[in-house]
A and B are shown apart, each in its own frame.
Chain A
Amino acid sequence: MSTNRALEGVGTFLDDRLHGARGIRVFLRKVFPDHWTFLLGEIALYSFIILLLTGTFLTLFFQPSMSTVVYHGSYTNLDGVSMSRAYDSTLNISFDVRGGLLMRQIHHWAADLFMAAIMAHMIRIFFTGAYRKPREVNWLIGIILFTLGLLEGLFGYSLPDDLLSGAGLRILEGVLQSIPIVGTYLAYFLFGGPFPGTDIVPRMYMLHVLLIPGLILALVTAHLFIMVFQKHTQMPGKGRTNTNVVGQPMYPYFMAKTGAFFFFTFGILALAGAFAQINPIWLYGPYNAVAMSAGSQPDFYMGMLEGALRVFPAWQWVVFGHTFAFNVFIPALLPLGALFTGAAFWPFIEQWVTGDKLEHHINDRPRNAPTRTAIGIAVITFYGVLWAEGANDILANHFDISLYLTTEIARIAWIVGPIFAYIITKRICLGLQRKDVHLLEHGVETGIIRQLPNGEFIEETRPVDEEARAILESRPHYQGLPEATGSDEEVPAPGMRGAIGKARERLYHVITESVPLPTNGHADGHGNGHAIEGNGHSVEGNGHAEPAPAAVPSGPGQSGNASDDEPPASDQL
């Protein structure tokens, strides 16, 4: 009782001044839907918090200076070696501060996990269509966070000024230098003169501990606020509509779950810090401009850029006393730039092609958006080919592949791979949709065999249960493109005119291609919007002449079921 009185006291104190009772109560009762894929973003969030905590510890001991010292510390292999203060202080943290090595390792593992989780989360958002209205702003914030995370990680692992990360900085300088017109100025301004100079580590330090974490923190806060305000999306299911959220309330359920998840994140990172050595800078040695190691790699999230640099052929153009170093600035800027730009524009492109202006709060099952899923897999394949090429010397050495062959394969695979991936993925999605339609029409096998009077054996089926039906029948709702006007529909709508309009129409059919649900009254269509061609199928406006599923010949005992359920085919919107 006294705890209640104390809580009452605190609550009254705050409410008297800040007026929170109603608002905070709303927040406490907010419903959060439950699906494991919704926790991927939390992995990133909690990794970030752990980065802040461990990073603060490290800043107490790290010295961001490139002045030279001669080492006489605990790591005797490097005794008498001259090195920068930054490297020296990192050795100090590792070998002369209790818990220092653990904090360094947790920090670096958390950075890796942060980036991996962002990738997984972004992929989940894409494949379930959770970036659609009203969440486009959050999607854009997410892309910015991804970019900031990349930079943050790059600067972070370059701070100790070791051989491996120093080589990475050299590559960064070379990339900057290659940019036409302004390149050499950018490089000299960033490094405070010729490479390596003495300014880069202190400058990266400021960016790494102050500016970029501040930006990330602000954007993450906005990202979460928007998500809470708009309420989370949910997976399709029984009782779940576009106008509700089904799940468990924040207090006490979601709070407890998310708290548990934080502990798990911290716990596994602590175990990783204990058992898995990461970034052993004492083995790399201090940076020296004359040395290089075989198998040098950046951290994995920079791997795609590294692969792009390796795969690109030696193209340059020297004209009027100036060099266009295509071999450098194209692979450095184009693939990742195209990826992020394409990702940023994608929600709006999809809206334009499908004419979709509705709010979407129910996630798509990836199979129900075959073209989107296929495009996503193709992009991931493109990323993956370049990522693998980034480690081509490691792969060549460990799998006994000729070194040049890996690059030659990548030079072809970067375009052939995504094409194949698109085709295969789309076919798989359509196949899965057919499987779903088959289940809806013919039911689930029960394993009960029955003999008919004429001697034939059939297996009995039963219709799918309500919950499964709700999931199988969920489909994205496409509003449809604007209709033509005029007495004979000869005046196309404003957005549909000309070559672009025709292209839009064709793209509409490609993007909305789907195996239609069975037309036996169970389709989940609300009939909102008009398909371009009133082809009598469900609202997806499927322009492809897919044979009506009911016409597919089924097994011997199934014909009875199919004809029982099918009403006469009718034009149904």
Chain B
Amino acid sequence: MSWITARRRHPAAGYAILLLGLLLVGAVYASVVGGGSAASAAPPAPANQAQITAGRTIFLQDCATCHGFAAQGTNAAPSLIGVGSAAVDFQVSTGRMPLKESDAEAARKPPQLNPAQTHAVAAYIASLGGGPAIPSGAEVNTSGANVGLGQKLFVTNCAQCHNFVGAGGALTYGKYAPPLTKSTPTQIYEAMLTGPEAMPVFNNTTITPDQKRAIIAYVTKTRVQANPGGFSLGRIGPATEGLVAFLGLLLFMVLVALWITAKHGKTSHE
């Protein structure tokens, strides 16, 4: 019989099968779960009529069913007049819009429109009623930003929803403040500026662009920072630490205690 069949009754056979099964499931799951979104890369060129027309076409195709043919809003979705290109760029580049399923909150997913299309739609919406514009590259450039100030502002205005490093948190009725691990500097800027869904608005006269850059610097620097203590355990605080204490440390010590006190030489009982 084959090598594997000969060992089917080995004491470790059960564990090996379990491990193989877990690895297989994990691999399949990881391959089907979506990855991050493509960032809106370069800032858009100033809108021209061609872009606005192209944007209108896309809008009528993908957005008008919910937002209305003149973006005036319907029962299903709010009006987009006056929201500005920043809001559109945020929602579309994070994949939240076009909305796939109606949930407590639109979730980040792989974007459906590419950056050029996104900017076109944004230009079209901006042409309807103005509103905050997509920030330029210079506006989201965090070099020289005061990270300490960013920490202070973040922890005072953002952490109560997004957690102290931006790992996300629960809101009411199924809503949540998403983790900021995948957000590009532009998206963070736009979110602060436009206040998507439940998030409040932080306009440029309240938190100035400089201060926004400080906040972005803090978020982007911290999320890529190494964890000097080892695995981060999610950066959500003591909840996961307690889990590790019981399921890791205490369990290990119990296994050691079982080993130390085992009677060796004893074969199986009755």
A positions within 8 Å CB-CB of B? 34-40, 43, 71, 76-81, 94-95, 101, 105, 109, 112-113, 115-117, 120, 163-164, 257, 260-261, 264-265, 268-269, 272-280, 283-285, 288, 290-301, 303, 391, 393-394, 396-397, 400, 402-404, 444, 462, 464-465, 468
Residue in A40, A261, A288 whose CB lies within 8 Å of B260: A261
* Chain A residues closer than 8 Å to B221, beta-carbon distance: 77
B172 at the interface (CB under 8 A from A): yes
Cβ of B173 within 8 Å of any chain A Cβ, yes or no, is yes
- Chain A residue, CB-CB nearest to B147: A77
B229 closest partner in A (C-beta): A277
Contacts of B168 in A (CB 8 A): 294, 397
B225 at the interface (CB under 8 A from A): yes
Residues on B with C-beta less than 8 A from A465 are 269-270
Contact of A43 among B228, B235, B253, B261 (CB under 8 A): B253
Q: Is the beta-carbon distance between A293 and B159 smaller than 8 angstroms?
A: yes
Q: Are B253 and A265 in contact (CB under 8 A)?
A: yes
- Cross-chain contact A291 with B155 (CB below 8 angstroms): yes
Q: Are A288 and B253 in contact (CB under 8 A)?
A: no
Query: In the complex, how many angstroms separate the beta carbon of A510 from the nearest chain B beta carbon?
Result: 32
Known: A285-B151, A288-B156. A294 touches B163 (CB 8 A): yes
Contact residues in A for B241 (Cβ distance below 8 Å): 112, 276, 278-279, 299-300
The residue on A at minimum CB distance from B237 is: A297
Whether B256 and A264, one on each chain, are in contact in the complex, defined by CB atoms closer than 8 angstroms, is: yes
Q: How far is the CB of B97 from chain A (nearest CB, A)?
A: 21
Residues in A neighbouring B173, C-beta threshold 8 A:
402-404
**In the complex, A464→B263 CA distance in Å?**
20
Tell me how far the C-beta of B135 lies from the nearest C-beta in chain A, rounded to whole angstroms. Answer: 23
Contact call B228/A277, Cβ cutoff below 8 A:
yes
Highest count of chain A CB atoms <10 Å: which of B146, B164, B254: B164
Whether A36 lies near B260 (C-beta < 8 A) is: yes
Query: What residues on B are CB-neighbors of A403 within 8 Å?
Result: 170-174
Q: Which of B22-30, B31-39, B195-203, B244-252 contacts A (4 or more CB under 8 A)?
A: B244-252
Assuming the contacts A43-B253, A113-B250, A403-B170, asked whether A291 and B176 have C-beta atoms less than 8 A apart, the reply is no
Please provide the 5 A-B residue pairs with the shortest distance between their CB atoms, ordered closest to farther: A294-B169, A300-B242, A277-B229, A112-B245, A39-B257
- Cα A109 to Cα B163 in complex, Å, equals 23
Minimum CB–CB distance from A535 to chain B (whole Å) comes to: 32
Given A113-B245, A277-B230, 10 more pairs with CB closer than 8 A = A39-B257, A43-B250, A109-B245, A112-B245, A112-B249, A277-B233, A278-B241, A303-B242, A397-B169, A403-B172
The answer to whether A109 and B249 touch (CB under 8 A), given A277-B229, A280-B227, A400-B174, is yes
The answer to whether A299 and B236 have CB atoms under 8 Å apart is no
Instruction: Tell me which of B152, B170, B252 contacts A268 (CB under 8 A).
Output: B252
**How many A-B contacts at CB < 8 Å in the complex?**
205
A interface SS class: helix
Q: Give A258's nearest chain B residue, CB to CB.
A: B260
> CA A61 – CA B225 in complex, angstroms?
25
**Across the interface, which residues of A come within 8 angstroms of B228, CB to CB?**
94-95, 101, 277
- Give the docked Cα–Cα distance between A76 and B237 (Å): 22
> Any chain A CB within 8 A of the CB of B231?
yes
Whether the pair B256, A295 counts as a contact (CB closer than 8 A) is no
Q: Which of B231, B235, B249, B254 contacts A36 (CB 8 A)?
A: B254
Q: Closest B-chain residue to A394, C-beta based?
A: B239
Which of A268, A296, A299 has its CB near the most chain B CB atoms (within 10 A)? A296
Contacts of B170 in A (CB 8 A): 294-295, 393-394, 396-397, 403
Task: Let me know if A280 and B250 touch, CB within 8 A.
Answer: no
The interface residues of chain A lying within 8 Å CB-to-CB of B147 are: 76-79
B229 touches A468 (CB 8 A): no
Task: Verify if B177 is at the interface (C-beta below 8 Å from A).
Answer: yes
Cross-chain contact A116 with B245 (CB below 8 angstroms): yes
B85 to chain A, nearest CB (A): 30
**Docked complex Cα distance between A289 and B238 (Å):** 20
CB-defined contacts of A39 to chain B, threshold 8 Å = 253, 257, 260-261
Determine if B161 is an interface residue (Cβ-Cβ < 8 Å).
Answer: yes
Q: How far is the CB of B267 from chain A (nearest CB, A)?
A: 12
List the A residue with the shortest CB-CB distance to B242. Answer: A300
In angstroms, Cα B221 to Cα A283, docked, is: 11
Set of chain B residues within 8 Å of A292, measured between Cβ atoms: 159-160
Expressed in whole angstroms, the Cα–Cα distance for A284 and B238 within the complex equals 12
* B162 located at the interface, meaning its Cβ lies under 8 Å from any Cβ of chain A in the complex: yes
A-chain residues with CB within 8 Å of residue B59 when the two chains form the complex: none
Q: Are A291 and B231 in contact (CB under 8 A)?
A: no
Asked whether, in the complex, the Cβ of A264 is within 8 Å of the Cβ of B163, the reply is no
Q: How far is the CA of A120 from the CA of B162 in the complex (A)?
A: 35
* Assembly CA distance A95 to B228 (angstroms): 9
| Chain A neighbourhood of B117, CB < 8 A | none
How many Å lie between the Cα of A288 and that of B148 in the bound state? 13
Cα of A284 to Cα of B165 in the assembled complex, Å: 8
A404 contacts B159, CB within 8 Å?
A: no
